[in-house]
């Protein structure tokens, strides 16, 4: 059974974690990443998406990393 907490999204504001979300699907997590950037992305914030199983940073705002798979 897939790990429902594998993909971890974090919103950092003023240098501190302000919100978290976890999903079992990378596609869903990437969709949420885009939603969070649209809703919360502004100066002073940072949004990250990490694969908790591998420790890989999949996406980061500002700036996106990874293959987008």
Range of the domain at 6: 1-17+29-69
Q: How confident is the model at residue 21 (pLDDT cuts 50, 70, 90)?
A: very high
**Separation of alpha carbons 47 and 19, rounded Å:** 9
The model carries a pTM of: 0.84
Give a yes or no: residue 45 inside a domain: yes
Give a yes or no: residue 22 inside a domain: no
Question: Residue 1: its pLDDT value, please?
Answer: 63
Contact 54, 63 (CB under 8 A): no
Number of domains making up the chain:
1
pLDDT in tens, 3-15: 889 999 999 998 8
pLDDT at 2 over 90: no
Give a yes or no: residue 48 inside a domain: yes
**Separation of alpha carbons 40 and 47, rounded Å:** 9
Question: Residue 67: its pLDDT value, please?
Answer: 45
Give a yes or no: residue 23 inside a domain: no
Give a yes or no: residue 56 inside a domain: yes
Give a yes or no: residue 60 inside a domain: yes
């Amino acid at each position: 059974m897939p790990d429902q907490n594998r993909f971890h999204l974090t919103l950092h504001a003023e240098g501190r974690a302000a919100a978290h979300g976890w999903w079992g699907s990378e596609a869903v997590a990437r969709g949420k990443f885009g939603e969070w950037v649209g809703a919360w992305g502004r100066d002073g914030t940072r949004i990250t998406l990490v694969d908790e199983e591998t420790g890989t940073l999949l996406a980061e705002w500002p700036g996106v990393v990874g293959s987008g798979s």
